[in-house]
Amino acid sequence: MISESTIDKVRELPIENIIGNYVKLVKDGRTSMKGLCPFHKEDNPSF
């Protein structure tokens, strides 16, 4: 089981740091990021 302290550390990180380990993210505007959805094949980022 994952410890509460590990869960707390993950919650403190910016979400793009976590998702970026699995999905290539690109900037979409000043503060937004986009990537290809990992759940289905697509050509344009929707995730």
pLDDT tens, 37-47?
999 999 998 88
**Residue range 24-45: average pLDDT?**
91
Q: Is the dihedral of CA 35, 38, 42, 47 positive or negative?
A: negative
Backbone angles phi, psi at 27, to 5 degrees: -65, 140
CA dist 34 and 24 (Å) reads 8
Q: Which pLDDT value is given to residue 31?
A: 85
For residues 47 and 34, the answer to whether their CB atoms sit within 8 Å is yes
What is the pTM (predicted TM-score) of this model? 0.61
**Residue range 17-43: average pLDDT?**
91
Q: What band does 23 get if pLDDT is binned at 50, 70 and 90? A: very high
DSSP state of 8: H
Q: What band does 26 get if pLDDT is binned at 50, 70 and 90? A: very high
CATH number of 1-47: 3.90.580.10
